[in-house]
Amino acid sequence: MSKSIAKRHQYILNKIQEHGFVNVHELSEELDVSMVTIRKDLKILESRNLLYRTHGSATLANPFIVDRNIHEKEKIRIEQKVRIAKAAAQLVQPHDSIILASGSTMLELAKQLQNQKELTVVSASLNVSQILNINPDIEIHQLGGTIRKSSNSTIGPFAEKMLENYSCNILFLGADGVDPDFGLTTTNAMEASLNEKMIRAASKVVVLADSSKFGKRGFGKICELNVVDIIITDNEVSGMLVKKIQEKGVDIVTV
């Protein structure tokens, strides 16, 4: 049975407070009103600064993110990133060939792999390469190209061309945004393009993203979620978002 406008708005706000995210189609079914009505409701609530609308959904926090320097990112949610990195390191076996993209969680993963034996690593991150280079048993292929200063990593056509010559077991990929509808994103379009080429060069795609990245969107789209095999995140992630992502066929590991 449909509810009054006030009751609908309260229902929407209660649900978004609980899950951090609501879906227009689901709200339409739950409240027994049209999706046009729900969109109008969300528009009113957004005008009161109570939520942020996106295509087909709404979130509690602003989903659109801006670029941040890698040195700033390193100091945020450190404990969660370490747990994620430790879980990711368990997927790596001796003699594997892996790709490590850029990002602060990749730095933590590199630290976890410092003592790995007989490993081949293709790296976009200069910091990751420096961490792993001290181990004589790890062969590093540093992607060339233009250095993106905010992430201290390489981007551009030279890096993308190099990836055409590689075939690796696993790609470990970071993301600035993990959205069940829009997919994986980063704040830089050229980095997104390089990440997409990394996906083509790997048999398995493993995304490392702490819970603060879920429900967010960056400027550059990397891929749809159905391209991803595994997402490793922390246990603070919204259960509602986890369910929606699992419906895309993605395995989610929470640590």
Out of 2-16, 120-134, 168-182, 188-202, which region has the weakest mean confidence (pLDDT)? 2-16
- Do residues 17 and 77 share a domain? no
| CA–CA separation, 87 and 55 (whole Å) | 33
Containing structural domain, residue 248: 70-254
32 in a domain, yes or no? yes
DSSP 8-state code for residue 227: G
What is the per-residue pLDDT across 167-223, written as a single tens digit (0 to 9) for each? Answer: 999 999 999 999 988 999 999 999 999 999 999 999 999 999 999 899 888 889 999
DSSP state of 135: -
- In this prediction, residues 3-13 reach a mean pLDDT of 89
Alpha carbon distance 108, 174 (integer Å): 12
Amino acid letter, residue 193: S
Q: Indicate if 47 and 75 belong to the same structural domain.
A: no
Q: Do 119 and 219 fall within a single domain?
A: yes
Beta-carbon-side half-sphere exposure of residue 151 (alpha carbons within 13 Å): 28
Annotate 175-188 with b (16+ C-beta within 10 A) or e (fewer). bbbbbbebbbbbbb
Taking the C-alpha atoms of residue 216 and residue 194, their distance in angstroms, rounded to an integer, is 20
Query: Residue 252 pairs with which residues in a beta bridge?
Result: 231
Same domain, residue pair 16 and 114: no
Lowest mean pLDDT among 77-81, 110-114, 127-131, 195-199: 77-81
Count of domains forming the chain = 2
122 near 139, Cβ under 8 Å? no
pLDDT at 75: 57
Residues 85 and 178 in one domain: yes
Are 250 and 225 contacting, i.e. CB atoms less than 8 angstroms apart? yes
Q: Reduce the secondary structure of 15-70 to three states and give it as a string.
A: HHHHHCEEEHHHHHHHHCCCHHHHHHHHHHHHHCCCCEEECCEEECCCCECCCCCH
SS3 203: strand
| Domain annotation covers residue 64 | no
Average pLDDT, the chain: 91
On whether both 163 and 187 belong to a single domain, the answer is yes
Query: Beta-carbon neighbour count of residue 72 at 10 Å?
Result: 10
pLDDT one-digit tens code per residue, 17-71: 888 778 898 899 999 999 999 999 999 998 888 888 877 888 877 777 665 566 5
This prediction has a pTM of: 0.77
CATH of the domain at 29: 1.10.10
Domain boundary among 59, 78, 95: 59
Nearest CA-CA partner of 209 in 52, 104, 89: 104
- Please give the share of the chain, as a percent, with pLDDT higher than 90: 68
Return the percent helix, strand and coil in the chain, to nearest 5: 40, 25, 35
Distances in Å between the Cα of 49 and the Cα atoms of 23, 28, 46 are 18, 22, 5
